[in-house]
Amino acid sequence: QQQVKQSPQSLIVQKGGISIINCAYENTAFDYFPWYQQFPGKGPALLIAIRPDVSEKKEGRFTISFNKSAKQFSLHIMDSQPGDSATYFCAASSANAGGTSYGKLTFGQGTILTVHP
Amino acid sequence: KAGVTQTPRYLIKTRGQQVTLSCSPISGHRSVSWYQQTPGQGLQFLFEYFSETQRNKGNFPGRFSGRQFSNSRSEMNVSTLELGDSALYLCASSKRGQDGYTFGSGTRLTVV
């Protein structure tokens, strides 16, 4: 199956809190897992990405945790700020038949994050 | 540097017409992917082009087609438009398709 299931659909966090968004996948061929942030009227912007050879990757306040055996990965936003209020998408991809491209991303349904000041 | 540029930003078409959307990738990027975004179905992959060749294709009917030019600019075409084709169409580019994709702001297509 090609699905990526994302939860929760919406999330409200207080300023300074930790936001956690979870994703689960079924296709064991997936080996590239990016997270995107989308503001209204804009296209998705790449936040951070991970490959299955590591269990965690951190960039600033954003951390991806990856559990290969459970086929799950999550995004943690530390010290959440009102400016982080946006829709977040997890995605997954595998190489094409020629091994030359990860251009076919399968996206989760998105999480609307609201950070209250 | 300039980002991914999509034109036009907004488009209104009548059912049965056809439409062509344009995407100019970041300079030096040779891979271009297209996605459809709707509230109900979310982000769905349409196709990917690299060096004028289609490398990946999603599960959309044949009414949806695309192409890429030698300067890496890409166009997608939708023929015989249906009301359900109303969506935000997003283009994304990458250097070779093995690293992160940068998205444009999209073309909002409304079919009436």
Using the Cβ of A107 and the Cβ atoms of chain B, whether some distance falls under 8 Å is answered with yes
At A98 the pLDDT is: 76
Query: What average pLDDT does this structure show over B73-79?
Result: 97
Tokens of B34: 């297209």
At B98 the pLDDT is: 74
Using the Cβ of B86 and the Cβ atoms of chain A, whether some distance falls under 8 Å is answered with no
CA distances, A116 to each of A18, A79, A83 (Å): 12, 12, 10
Give the residue carrying structure tokens 């034109």.
Answer: B7
Give the residue carrying structure tokens 């438009």.
Answer: B81
Q: How far apart are CA B100 and CA B112, in angstroms?
A: 35
Best B6, B33, B35, B45 residue to mutate vs chain A (most A CBs within 10 Å) = B45
In B26-85, the residues whose Cβ lies within 8 Å of chain A are 31, 33, 35, 42-45, 48, 50, 55-56, 58
CA distances, A35 to each of A64, A78, B8, B88 (Å): 9, 15, 27, 19
- Output B81 or B100, whichever has higher pLDDT: B81
Q: How far apart are CA B66 and CA B68, in angstroms?
A: 7
- Answer whether B94 sits within 8 Å of A105, measured CB to CB: no
Query: Which residues have CB under 8 Å from B99's CB, separation 6+?
Result: none
Using the Cβ of A98 and the Cβ atoms of chain B, whether some distance falls under 8 Å is answered with yes
- Which tens digit of pLDDT belongs to each residue from B29-70? 999 999 999 999 999 999 999 999 998 899 999 999 999 999
Q: How far apart are CA B43 and CA B111, in angstroms?
A: 18
At A86 the pLDDT is: 98
- Answer whether B55 sits within 8 Å of A101, measured CB to CB: yes
- Answer whether A96 sits within 8 Å of B55, measured CB to CB: yes
- Which tens digit of pLDDT belongs to each residue from B79-90? 999 999 999 999
B71, amino acid identity: N
Report the residue count for chain A: 117
In chain A, which stretches have pLDDT less than 70?
A: 1-2
At B1 the pLDDT is: 66
- Answer whether A41 sits within 8 Å of B4, measured CB to CB: no
- Which tens digit of pLDDT belongs to each residue from A62-80? 999 999 999 999 999 999 9
At B90 the pLDDT is: 98
At A100 the pLDDT is: 76
